[in-house]
Structure 1
Amino acid sequence: MDTGRVTLYIATSVDGYVADAEGGVDWLEEFQTGSDDNEDVEGFSEFFESVDCLVMGATTYEQVLSFGQWPYDDRPTYVLTHRDLSPATEAVEFVARDVADLSTELRQRYEHVWVVGGASTARAFLREREIDVLRLFYVPVLLGDGVPLFGGGYDRQKLRSCDAESHASGIVEHRYEVNR
């Protein structure tokens, strides 16, 4: 197998925050329902079916757990952490490794890796040039403060705009490929 691809698929406020000042994402709730015809607004189901494994930070992991039932079934999930946490399923593995080394291993094992978040995990993958595709979902809200998605240190990485799509929910998705 050729090396797999890594996608950052994440929602952000128009002003660039992935969580509010307290780390909450409840501001996303009103945008999570489909349009009147029950459209899968962000095409998440199709995207998720294409994913072989997930990567997330510990804070995102704990936040996902707080929502109730583990939503990722038995999909291999790697959680970046130095803390001792309990796995949601047997498919969850906790890793305290260099992002570049982990990404190399995951690219060799899986065809499509989803970097779920949070912001520090996304930034670490971007800084190491380990993201191939960015799928950014701009939610029509200005938070004014919170956890920023981008924080610098990206070495002027050039992106190629692939697509932009407006959804009935008001969310606009921008897709970019990272130029190599």
Structure 2
Amino acid sequence: MRKVILYVNVTLDGMLAGPHGELDWMLPDPEMNQTLSDELRDRVDTILTGRNFYYGADQSFRAQAADPASPPELVSFANWVVDTPKVVFSTTLTTLDDGSRVAANIPTEIAALRDKPGKDMVLFGGSSTAQQFIQHSVVDEYWIKLYPVVLGAGQPMFTDLSQRANLELVHSKSHTSGIVTLRYYSR
């Protein structure tokens, strides 16, 4: 059965973004990002995302892929993101020009996708989409890049849970940038 991997950048106080969506607290760590992107591409053949992240990331990755100043490893990852089939979760969209699928009901769609042949799926989402996936208990693995910064306020990763999320730590690594990569399985 295919798994859902939630891939996020998070602060020590559990924020996915600042109060106004700020992401300026993320530190660059090309070596860590290359390792993670290689592992992700080996395991995943479907990207799950929300509407806002889809539009922002799509433009950003297309620009990075086309920029001659972009490092080759970034171009490779950007092209993978652009070319990988996507399911965009939205209650306001009905179709997308690039052929990506639109879905509204997270539990129903994930159940159907799990039964289809293929590799695992990765959720690149903004805070709202990530929170909804967590609330619906459809995340199988959490791939977390924990940044050494505290915002004090912002868009939290975990909110409005109807039940406790019990996780099992299966990987941790500290990087010279101060970022710690963590992987948890849902139990």
Aligned mate of 1:106, from 103, 107, 113: 113
- TM-score, normalised to structure 2, is 0.80
Give the superposition deviation at 1:99.
Answer: 1.0
Deviates more, 1:128-137 or 1:61-70: 61-70
Consecutive unaligned residues of structure 2, counting only runs of 5 or more, are 64-77
Alpha-carbon distance between aligned partners in 2 of 1:5 and 1:152, rounded to the nearest angstrom: 23
1:49 and 2:47 matched: no
Give the superposition deviation at 1:39.
Answer: 5.5
**SS where residue 57 of structure 2 aligns?**
helix
**SS where residue 83 of structure 1 aligns?**
coil
- Is the Cα–Cα contact under 8 Å of residues 126 and 154 in structure 1 kept in the other structure? no
Change (3 A) 1:108 1:119: same
Superposed CA offset, 1:129-173 (max 9, x none): 211111111111112221111103141232111121111221101
Superposed CA offset, 1:80-133 (max 9, x none): 11224874633x22222x211111111122320111112222222222221111
Aligned mate of 1:175, from 167, 173, 183: 183
**Aligned residue in 2 for 1:33:** 29
1:153 and 2:146 matched: no
Superposed CA offset, 1:19-68 (max 9, x none): 1111132322xx2332xxx5646522221332110111112112213425
Change (3 A) 1:151 1:42: farther
Consecutive unaligned residues of structure 1, counting only runs of 5 or more, are none
Alpha-carbon distance between aligned partners in 1 of 2:16 and 2:181, rounded to the nearest angstrom: 14
**SS where residue 172 of structure 2 aligns?**
strand
- Is the Cα–Cα contact under 8 Å of residues 15 and 151 in structure 2 kept in the other structure? yes
- Is the Cα–Cα contact under 8 Å of residues 58 and 82 in structure 2 kept in the other structure? no
Alpha-carbon distance between aligned partners in 2 of 1:42 and 1:168, rounded to the nearest angstrom: 14
- TM-score, normalised to structure 1, is 0.83
Q: Equivalent residues in 2 for 1:50-89 (5 A)?
A: 50-67=43-60, 69=62, 71=78, 72-84=81-93, 87=96, 89=98
Alpha-carbon distance between aligned partners in 1 of 2:94 and 2:28, rounded to the nearest angstrom: 28
**SS where residue 124 of structure 2 aligns?**
strand
Q: Which amino acid aligns with 1:21?
A: P
Give the total of aligned pairs: 170
- Is the Cα–Cα contact under 8 Å of residues 41 and 168 in structure 1 kept in the other structure? no
**SS where residue 44 of structure 1 aligns?**
helix
Q: Which amino acid aligns with 1:144?
A: G
